[in-house]
Structures are given as structure tokens and as C-alpha cells.
Structure 1
Amino acid sequence: MRGAWIDASAGVAGDMLLGALLDAGADPAAVRRQVVALLPDEVAIDVGTVQRAGLRATRATVRSTAEDHSHRSWSGIRESIVDADLAPVVRDSALRVFGLLADAEARVHGVPAGEVHFHEVGAWDSIADVVGTCAAVADLGLSTITAGPVALGSGRVRSAHGEIPVPVPAVLELSRGWQVSGSGDGELATPTGMALLRGLAASCTTMPPMTVAATGYGAGSRDTSGRPNVVRVVVGEPVDAPAGTDMTVLETNVDDMDPRLWPGVLAALLDRGAADAWLTPILMKKGRPAHTLHVLAAPELAGPLRAFVLRATSTLGVRETPVHRHALGRTWVPVPIDGAQIRIKLGTEGERIVHVAPEFDDVAALAAERGLPARRVLEAAVAAAESAGLRPGEPVPVRSER
């Protein structure tokens, strides 16, 4: 079990993220094999060390080795990824990233996603960045990835359609639900980089507790004075939360909001780092039906989450209560299911398993991908966990060292 946290406070691009993962220990040969499987005789990946504002970083440069490259649509890329001899985990990740990118560009240009033709998806270097980054994640054995807020940049940039503002429209589409800022000059976040971050990272958060095993710095093409133009990746073993943790609960009563908006509010709170968010139906004065919104969060996140609640709901005030949470330790163990993987969440106490449950997001994603009822995938995941010896009362599996 390894996790990683991505620091994109200086921006993010596909080549920068690939360079950071290579710098953190991903095998360049393993990455090249996966890229060549999809783009045979078209590209090479050069890896070298550079300086960015005084920091050493790895620069991953995708170089053309072909006379010409065919122009590809998203539907063509999807077909190529499915048919290529890629590792299943790399194929699944690449399809997820390209799907996000195609959907964003489709919304921007007002065309069906399958008909999208544009540089960020169609270009050979972007394809290599996406597949190479997904291969590096697989080679490092990363089971969980989170990331911090992203600097998008400012100003204007030239595109195939003329001069457009920064952040470019596709980046803004991909930023929905993520913490971003317009700090920095120029285009700091590219559509490919933002799609990779959204496709690979589970949530936007500060660096989680971990025992650090490696760090990696991936360089962009420019060397900007006074600001290292790098993406940073921190790789390590997740550390279980202590038994008792100081937390904050935010609460507010709301009786005048369209109930269809609540699922989006709850999801956005979790994306912004809340440990939990839920609703309780209540009856207010004069017999008015209403809801109480509850948000459980680390104390340092109470301010930003409180500000979000005041913006995203119709409430005029928020209550705040300090609490002390006692929690089981938790960890995730992937189990194989028909060429794919499902993470099994373990609640632990000491060295023993207390609770076992498949990660339902993984179950739902695999069911949707293969057109199966979620119930069948859930049953298969439970059986796979049982076969792997993941049962209450059994010892917590020993995490293998790389």
C-alpha cells in the first residue's frame, strides 16, 4: 500500500507530472514500454535532470520519431487504447483521464465528445504524457492519490482558434469542484495536466499523514525566475489517524433551498477536504420542514468550509462546535477481479482487522465500465476479499516494501 500527494501550487502539465513520478522512482523503461504499446514507432521519451529556479528536477520530454502523425479524435483514441497491449490498470486510468478531457472540450466547443478533434487530445505528445503518467503511477504501486489546490495562471495565450484568456476554457471546465487560484503569469495549468490530476487524484486536500518514502520534482519547459516551475509528488505509506483527533463540526438549519441542490453541496464539501458531510431532516418553527447540514472537518479547514457553506447554501449563519473523534485505523488493500482491481477498505484496531468493505466507488466504476449490475460486482469483491484472507479478526496484511 502506497499513496501519493501531488503539489500543483506552481501549476500542472502532463510532462511535469510524468517527470515528477519518474523522479520519485518510477522505472523509465516500464513507462516507455506502455507508451510504445500505444504509439509504436511514433515517439520517444527523453529523461534528464534540469534546474528550475535553483531546484533540481526531472524533465520528461516526449520526442517525435515519425515523419508525420495522424490526427486523432477522442473516439479514435479510445479505440486505440482499448486495442493496445496495455496493462489493465494503465488502460483503465488512461480511458478515465481522456474521457474527462474529451467531455471538457466537448462542453467548450459544443460538439459530442466522440467528435472532439483538438490539440490536447489528438496530439501524440499529449497521448504519451497521459499513458506515460498512468504507467508511472502503476509502476510505483500507488493505491491512493490526493492533490492540493492548483495554480492556473493568468493572462492570454494563443490557440488554434486565436487568442484566448488564461485559464483556458477546458481547464476551467476540468476545475469544477476543485480548489484553484489564478495566481502566476501565463498558462500554468494545461488541459492535459488538469485532466490527469482530476482523473488520478481522489480529492483536493492538504498533504495527508504518511511516512514519506520518496519525493519527486517534475520540471516544465520554462525556467521562471523566482518561482520553481515544477510539480512536486510526495510518495509514502499512509499513516492511520490516531485514536482520538480534535475535529470541528459546522452546522446550519436551512428551510428555503431547492432539495435537488443538496447532493452537489455535500459532494463539494467532501472534495474540499471535509471528513464527512450529511443532512438531517428537521421541523423548524411554524412547522416548516427543513434540513440541518452537518460538516465534520479538521480545525484548520473550518474557515474555508464555513465560507463555502455560506456561499453555496441559502443560510445566513453557521454554528461551530469543537469535538473529539475516536476512530478505527483504516487502510486499503486492492484485490483482483477479472483483470481489474477493487480496493477493500479495512477498519483496523492494533494489528487486527475489525471491518471489511469493498470501496463502493471502485465497484460502481467497474460495473459501469463493463455494463454489469453493481450488485454482481459487489458480490465478486466480497468473495475476492474473503479469498485474500481479509476477514474480521484476521491480522492486518503486511505492506510489501518496494
Structure 2
Amino acid sequence: MDANHKKTLLKNRLLLARSLDLGELLQYLVQEGVMNDRMIEKIESKSTSFGRNVSFLNALPTRGPKAFNVFIDGLRETQQDFLAEQLMKPKSPENDENQTPAVIERVLDICAEPLRSTSTNSCVPSATDFKDGSRRVTVEKSTFEFYKSNFHRSYKMTSKPRGYALIVNVTEFDSAVELPQRQGGNLDKENLGQILQHLGFETLLIENETAADIRSSLKSFALKDDHKLRDACVVALLTHGQDGSIYGRDGIPVEIEEIFSYFDNAHCPNLRNKPKIFFVQACRGSLYDKGVDESDGRRRTSCVSAGSTDVNFSEPRLPTRSDMIFGYATQRGQAAMRNTHHGSWYVEALVKVLAKNAKNRDLAEILTSVNSVVKGMQCNSPGSDLHACKEMPIFHSTLCKKLYLFPGIIESQK
């Protein structure tokens, strides 16, 4: 590999270490003769995705004169065009050796242009088009054969649109409020909004509202008549929070359980027996997860059999809260990590896993994979309290069937 290519890799090393998806890329490099199976075994022996990426970046410059160009081709082949473009950017006098590369590595290269303006004085959710920017985001489609094999054991998910998705995004807080602005939060809004639209949801947005307006918006949204005609509903809450609550622009908390109650079977009859999906990107406390050193070993667990209970099926009733799934960026008491250039760890992982796996995996499996991706991430901020901190998402479910999103399948095809 020539000196200029090595220099380019070195200049972009941190970006690549954080962002590379090695899965299919390694196989491409084996196919093209740049890597071999022994190298892949060594790379994959590392316990974190960051560690695997670093091991790969150490090996790549030693793989001969064609390694860099094949690497670029591999990035494009595996839909990591944003990294290829960053590496191939022409040098300019404006970019010196010590300058951080221009950050364009939004999840799946979802580089939405500025969103159409929505009123910050109205608590009515506004329809928002997140498709104005790059269309290179790719949601892999379900096959009709997969649908035919699985629809009978899953929620109906073929309406067009699938349902409404409401994003509540607060990035700016009143000057009198002791809460910092959420830099990078708008990336989450754009990335999540685009992926939901590509999955077939009609996306609505409210931004930078007070706690009272957030409550009013959510209540009105839950009571929309059109829920009757659609198969599902998504609510995403992107703001600061503490355990059990999120904050409006005015720093006043809104209880998360109160929000969930707006959509339960007692208060939201139009969504009964339909899946209600919630994503909460907010801190749930002020503690940072310092992590622990990884060690091998398993602890045995014992199983206890539950006693039998008499059940009366004489009346067709529903539990108050059923058919819901709740995804949280972090666990109770813990802070959620957010990068000012990339957006939050959780939304970044969620968008990426949804785009690749919604075609044939149910939402519980997808959120488990999101947990795995975020588990492998680690804060790199030497000298700060955040250095080496971790984050661990969590989800809870009252779903009663498999929840496949069946991207690309609509009712007319059945």
C-alpha cells in the first residue's frame, strides 16, 4: 500500500474504528484475495466491534498495493458508501492533518436536508417528509414467500401506510432551564424519521415543545380516528430525561408511564389488539456505566415451576396494557450516550439493524440485536469522566404475537 493511502487510513482511523461494519466486508476482502481466513479469525477473536475494527485497520496496510482500492470497492459493495466517500475526498488546503474529518457518516448515509419547518407554537403534530435528502438508505424488503410462511403467527402488518409514527424531539431548552442543548439530537430525528418512512409509516413530528404541549399532542395523537384503518403505531421520545420521566423545553417532567397510558386499551380503543411501539432515547438517571472487565464462566440458575391458576374465559376482556413493546436507550438510573456528530448510540444502532433485518426478523429479535450492537460500543474520551463508559439498552414487551414489519408487502399483494 502506498504512503498516501496509508496516510488517508491514519487520518480517518477514529472514524473507521467507530463506524466500520466488518461482517460482509471481510468476506468480500477474502474473495478478492486481500485477506485470508487466519486473519479473519484473529480479527473476530476481539470481544468488541471497536476492537475488531482496530485489529482490521492494523492489518489492512500490510496487505499489498491493491488493498486500499479493494477496500474502497468493498465499502461500496456492502453499502458503506459514506466511508468510501470520506476516504476518497480530494485533499484541500482547508483540511490540515490535525483537523477532524468532516463528519458525514450518519447511520446508513441518511443525510437528510433541513426538514420542512413546523410550528413550534402549535401542539398539533405536523406531517413531515424525511425523504428530501439522500435516497441511499436501503431497507431490505421481505419476500412474499417469507410473508406467506409467517403472517399466520404474527400481527397483521400490511396496511398502507402501516400506521402513524410520532417523533417527539426536544433539542433546545429555555434559557432559564438548567438543561444543556442536545447537540446531535436532530440527527436522531432525521435518521429515525427516514427509516420509519421507508418501513411504511406516516411520520409526524413535534419539536421543542413544553411539557404541557407534549402531553396535549400525545393525547390528541392517541385519539386519532385513522388508527382504525392502520395496523400499528410508533411513538419515539427524543429528549433529556430522568428515571421515569422525560423533559419538555421548559424543563418540566412528563411521566413516561403517563404517556404509555394514553395508548392502552382503556384510553385508546382504536389501537386495541394492534402493536404499539415505543422508543425512548433519553437518560434514565445520572449514573454512567463504567463497565467491568470481561471474564469467562457461567453461573448456574435454578428453575422454579409456577403453580396452576384457575382461568375464566367466559368474558372476552383485554388486559389494560397489552400488545405493546417499549425500547429504552439505557437502563434505570443510567445515562444515555450521545455523540454530537453521529447522534445517539441507541438510535444509530436501531436504524442500522432495522434497515438490514426488518425483512425477516421480528421486532423483539431486532431489539435484541440492537442491545448487542450497543453493548460493543465504548466511549473514547481520554481525560474525561466518560472515558471507557458503556451503555446497555433494554426493552420490555407485552406483545402477544410475532411483530414482523414485512417491508415491501402491502394488502393488494396478498
Superposition TM-score tier, normalisation by shorter sequence: under 0.3
TM norm structure 2: 0.25
TM norm structure 1: 0.25
